[in-house]
Structure 1
Amino acid sequence: MAAWLYLTSVSVTNGSVTVSVAGAHDLSFVEAGWSFDIGTARAEISSGTAPDDSGNSTLTLARPWVGANITGQEAQIVPTSGALRAAIVAMNDTNDYAIVTHKTLTEITTLDKDVTIKDPTGEEHTFATMPKIAREVTEQRTALASDYATKTASLTISATMGYRNAVEKASGGRETLITDAQGNDNIMCVIPRMNYEDLGLSALNLGTGTMTAFLTDGVPRSEVLISKYINSTVGGGVASVGGNYPRVSVNFDTAKSLSTNKGAGWHLMSQHEWELLRFLGLVAGHAPRGNTNWGRAHDARFEVATRIDGRAAGDTAGDGKTKVGQGPLSWMHDGSPYGVCDLVGNVWEWVDQFKIVDGQIICTLDNDPSIAEANWIAQAAFYDNSGGLKLSNSRTATTSTNLEATSIQKTATYVANELMRRLGIEHDGPSSTGRLYVNNDGERLPLRGGGWYIGADAGPAALNLSYPRSDSYSRVGFRSAFFA
């Protein structure tokens, strides 16, 4: 093996393969694979040159210099054997392989892609990185969840449609099922459009033309859908579902928003719709009963329903409200299996589109829940204390009193009003039962039907105008209606 060769002045910059050597050293004999050493730094030599006319020669390194810049320092060339050179080559190959492997491992843990790596034999292997695998697993889970949701929704729709078809078939189309925007199913009574003159109630002097319940801003509807049951709490909202206890302790505005929150077309049942049901009961020759005596009908005590407090019907202690829809056919508005339940008794019900302010009646002209309350029409009709509670053209004195609803009298100055007769304010003759309660001081919102505790004072004509909109009681609930 040749002796080590000491160099007195060499210069090389980081990243360069060229080493400048001063001192007239002939390096043309240097073999590839020999070692170039500066201190502890070492690099493999590729070739060398003889000195030029200036006495400078060069070494070419096998790889760029990775150390710091060197200027005029001592170095040495170390001849190596074939075996050592082979070992160095193998070590360099291993180092190169390690560098590639490290790069690949970094990509495997950080990049979303496929990577290819060669094993020591040169064979290539391609596989997905961990981020790619994680993404694909997430996508597959999402796809499976979406597919499950789609199939579940399809099954739910199919079940709902089957339920609706069964309801409509059983009732001959007089009832249907409507699923609201909150996903709750509602059993609804379908009331087809009709005219006042076709009711056969001429003694009530209701006039002619389409009933106001079927008019919205003067435009007729083919039908209205009214909740068969007083609303109960279902799935975070309210729904018309039989066998539940009624939702109570809500003020007027809450009852209204709970109804409109059910989605487009839904609204709190209006005075127009309540009077529609009252008139239909008269047409059917039916005086509906209900829970008017602590879980039973006051005038048919064998007609009972399950009380919320578990007490026996007729027990005047506790809470006498009952499950909605559990009463007999006599508790339907028209006495049929497909009528509206519990219109009389159980709990009072808020209704919309009608109120009094200081005794003056303010209402919508027809069934239009979209009209803001500020735009309701003030009527030339007042509840006045004029020798007792009477209808008048002004309020002369305040009162808080009650009387049989259909017995209310009119002052000599009052001008009869057809709309007031259609809304159950005026009565041209006895018709339905129920008591009228009025406080003509301030704003009062209407409650209808009566409660479980008032006996004969409950009825289809029962109207309570004693309470402000803010009041909420455990004896007051509400029901919704729907425009398809």
Structure 2
Amino acid sequence: MPSIFIKDSLRQAVEGATGGKVTVLYSADGKPGYYCIVPKFRLEDIDASLGSGVHPAFVVQGQEKSELFISQFQASVVGGMALSLPGQDPATSFTYDQARSYCAALGTGFHLMTNAEWAAIALWCHKNGFLPRGNTRFGQSEVARFETGRRVDGGEIGVVSGTARTLTGSGPASWRHDNTPAGIADLVGNVNEWVTGARVVEGEIQIVPDNDAALATTDLSANSSAWKAILPNGSLVAPGTAGTLKYDASEAGTTGDHGSPLLSDTVLNRNGPQGSNAMGAGFTADALQALTAKAGLEVPALLKRLGLFPLAASQGGGSLYVRNYGERMLMRGGAWSDTLSAGLFRVSLAIDRSHPSSYIGFRPAFVL
């Protein structure tokens, strides 16, 4: 057994208190962090339209993994490392590549949470009939305003001003993925979260296959050959191949926010201004489904497995944002001021990798 899993008093206490749902993993220099254990599941057990076999989050370099370890809390940064600790101000104002480096600094197996991992959790929540809420209205939940966390700026709950992040894990159990104190906290709201393994380039949807983005050896730079585009039949091909899936806009225009995003095999219209890193207008799952159906394009199951296209209009939990100019990295969840547009299935593809923001954080994960 690797030393990272050897029982000690803290790990034994945490696992005992949570029924084995949460454990403690240590960084290379011995710093503790709290991680939720996510067991492997099969796609057909979630929804037949997803296909069959294990979810891609549990496949790394072609090998199935029995479980994932997901940071229970949004990261705080201490000594150049991303730690998973309760009661902290979540780390923000870091670029995508900085977030990756702080997670990798924890040691072998640690990484910035991948989109495949996020999608697996979101689909599990959908199947189990509970979508977590969170800090989506300045310290409280927009849809359940009696649910509150502790604002880091000391501001009054619900007052629309200030930097209204809440301390990690300070909200109720309904702000955790399984509606228990042992769940993953703050996936919805508080701060947007960089995730890795998915992006758009000039509107073209690109992914790293399975959960290989979790590997330290995977090159995730802008021009890496690890990125693959997707054909309507779900095949993975080199970026720039004709007919790959893209996020188009339903109306023409190059300034402001024009048209709802839709899935297409070409980009006819741009969404928003070229140089912008603003989120712009968001569009709901049912709008994306309706527009794509009208366009008559086949939607492969792979996009639904990865949460890049709605499994169902009723899944709820967030909107789609996209800027189909240049490279835009993926963020999930939403922030403290995003109200109803925040959610577990929110897709934010509007920000470039070098853009830090006080609204953007991240969380580490681990796979052995």
TM-score, structure 1 length as denominator?
Answer: 0.65
Structure with more contact order per residue of length (Cα contacts < 8 Å, sep ≥ 6): 2
- Number of equivalences: 324
Deviation at 1:413, TM superposition (A): 5.5
The reply to whether residue 215 of structure 1 matches residue 59 of structure 2 is: yes
Deviation at 1:399, TM superposition (A): 1.1
Deviation at 1:160, TM superposition (A): 7.6
Q: 1:352 to 1:283 in 2, by over 3 A?
A: same
Q: 1:465 to 1:478 in 2, by over 3 A?
A: same
Deviation at 1:327, TM superposition (A): 0.6
Equivalent position to 2:334, from 447, 450, 462: 450
Deviation at 1:230, TM superposition (A): 0.2
Quote the Cα distance in structure 2 between the aligned partners of 1:344 and 1:276: 15
Does the 8 A contact of 1:348 with 1:478 survive in 2?
A: yes
Cross-structure match for 2:246: 382
Secondary structure of 2:50's match?
coil
- Whichever residue aligns with residue 152 of structure 2, its letter is I
Deviation at 1:432, TM superposition (A): 3.0
- Whichever residue aligns with residue 423 of structure 1, its letter is L
Quote the Cα distance in structure 2 between the aligned partners of 1:462 and 1:473: 18
- Whichever residue aligns with residue 440 of structure 1, its letter is N
Secondary structure of 1:351's match?
strand
Secondary structure of 1:163's match?
helix
Q: 1:406 to 1:214 in 2, by over 3 A?
A: farther
**Higher fraction of strand:** 1
The reply to whether residue 423 of structure 1 matches residue 306 of structure 2 is: yes
Give unpaired runs (5+ residues) of structure 2: 231-243, 252-258, 273-280
Equivalent position to 1:407, from 287, 300, 306: 287
Deviation at 1:233, TM superposition (A): 2.3
- Whichever residue aligns with residue 427 of structure 1, its letter is P
Cross-structure match for 2:268: 396
The reply to whether residue 372 of structure 1 matches residue 246 of structure 2 is: no
The reply to whether residue 178 of structure 1 matches residue 25 of structure 2 is: yes
Cross-structure match for 1:197: 44
- Whichever residue aligns with residue 31 of structure 2, its letter is N
Does the 8 A contact of 1:278 with 1:432 survive in 2?
A: no
The reply to whether residue 279 of structure 1 matches residue 123 of structure 2 is: yes
Equivalent position to 1:315, from 159, 178, 194: 159
Does the 8 A contact of 1:184 with 1:234 survive in 2?
A: no
Quote the Cα distance in structure 2 between the aligned partners of 1:192 and 1:309: 36
Query: Superposed, which structure 2 residues align to 1:109-120 within 5 Å?
Result: none
**Higher fraction of helix:** 1
Cross-structure match for 2:134: 290
Deviation at 1:235, TM superposition (A): 4.1
Deviation at 1:427, TM superposition (A): 2.1
Does the 8 A contact of 2:80 with 2:102 survive in 1?
A: no
- Whichever residue aligns with residue 264 of structure 2, its letter is S
Does the 8 A contact of 2:208 with 2:227 survive in 1?
A: yes
* 1:305-329 CA-partner distances (Å, limit 9, x unpaired): 1111111111112110010101101
Does the 8 A contact of 1:266 with 1:481 survive in 2?
A: yes
- Cα RMSD for the two superposed structures: 1.7
Cross-structure match for 2:278: none
Secondary structure of 1:403's match?
coil
* 1:139-193 CA-partner distances (Å, limit 9, x unpaired): xxxxxxxxxxxxxxxxxx9x98100011111112111000011321110000111
Secondary structure of 1:402's match?
coil
- Whichever residue aligns with residue 392 of structure 1, its letter is S
Deviation at 1:392, TM superposition (A): 0.5
Deviation at 1:402, TM superposition (A): 2.3
Does the 8 A contact of 2:320 with 2:346 survive in 1?
A: yes
- Whichever residue aligns with residue 137 of structure 2, its letter is N
Quote the Cα distance in structure 2 between the aligned partners of 1:290 and 1:227: 16
Give unpaired runs (5+ residues) of structure 1: 1-156
Quote the Cα distance in structure 2 between the aligned partners of 1:385 and 1:320: 32
Does the 8 A contact of 1:305 with 1:327 survive in 2?
A: yes
Query: Superposed, which structure 2 residues align to 1:4-83 within 5 Å?
Result: none
Instruction: Point out the structure with max Rg over C-alpha.
Output: 1
Does the 8 A contact of 1:196 with 1:211 survive in 2?
A: yes
The reply to whether residue 434 of structure 1 matches residue 298 of structure 2 is: no
Deviation at 1:414, TM superposition (A): 2.7
- Whichever residue aligns with residue 135 of structure 2, its letter is N
Secondary structure of 2:343's match?
coil
Does the 8 A contact of 1:406 with 1:433 survive in 2?
A: no
- Whichever residue aligns with residue 342 of structure 2, its letter is A
Secondary structure of 1:353's match?
strand
TM-score, structure 2 length as denominator?
Answer: 0.85
Secondary structure of 1:296's match?
coil
* 1:24-45 CA-partner distances (Å, limit 9, x unpaired): xxxxxxxxxxxxxxxxxxxxxx
- Whichever residue aligns with residue 382 of structure 1, its letter is K
